[in-house]
Amino acid sequence: MAKPWQTIDSEDTPDGLLELRQRNGSDFLITIDGRVLMNSHASRSEVLLSKLACNSMSKKNDPRVLIGGLGMGCTLKAALDELPGNALVVVAELNPVVVKWCRAPVAALTGGAVNDPRVTIEIADVASIIRKSAINGGDNRFDAIILDLYEGPFEAAKERGNYVYGEAALAMSSSALMPGGVFAVWSEDPDRAFERRLVHAGFSFDRHRPRRGNRHVVYIAKKPVSSP
């Protein structure tokens, strides 16, 4: 029988109390304002997100990848498993305490992925990094942008998520990508309005679900190779 969850650390945030909970030694839960953000035993969709976004880069020279949202580091670990040793992975995370948790006590879940020499952690809104990359252009652009953010682009979060999932934001993400770059997005459910916005921004896309477990949606969108 599973033991009750115990809160082992917490931090007040503008969105509510952020908590790290633990039970049975290796089970972890991150919650915000009482709602579950991530469960250490339900990460198949996050792993699929990174695997599909990065599996074509294993032999690419110096690929640059941006990940929005650190969570427990599962998305990051899956990306690192696909990427070569000369890759650069920038992780944008709003809450420094989440980085602390990924270094300890949940580091064992990912083999300490946050400490990989290929990884740079920025305490920042991912939208600001995307905008900076788009403005600077050239080699500042990314080969892949992976957004693993709470709730994703679904309609109920449309107003709050406009800064990363709206029309202007998708155009900015396209500008922040190299030609042929990948824009990968985690979503709770399929979102037809978001799909239409992807197409309007010039992306082609595929929708995926894990074969087992939690059936959240993974969008893998691609920028045309001929784009400037």
Tokens, residue 221: 């969108």
Q: Report the distance separating Cα 59 and Cα 212, nearest Å.
A: 29
Judge if 93 and 106 occupy the same domain: yes
Number of domains in the chain: 2
Judge if 182 and 196 occupy the same domain: yes
Q: Do β-strands 27-32 and 6-13 pair in parallel, antiparallel, or remain unpaired?
A: unpaired
Q: Is the dihedral of CA 23, 44, 80, 68 positive or negative?
A: negative
CATH number of domain containing 60: 3.40.50.150
Tokens, residue 82: 């696909």
Judge if 89 and 195 occupy the same domain: yes
Give the pLDDT score at 227: 52
**DSSP 3-state assignment of 36?**
strand
Q: Report the distance separating Cα 177 and Cα 214, nearest Å.
A: 29
169 phi and psi, to 5 degrees?
-65, -40
Give the pLDDT score at 1: 60
Segments in the chain below pLDDT 50? 156, 228
Q: Report the distance separating Cα 97 and Cα 203, nearest Å.
A: 34
Give the pLDDT score at 214: 60
- Residue 173's domain comprises 43-222
* DSSP 3-state percent helix, strand, coil across the chain (nearest 5): 35, 30, 35
Give the pLDDT score at 198: 96
Judge if 47 and 37 occupy the same domain: no
Q: Report the distance separating Cα 193 and Cα 217, nearest Å.
A: 14
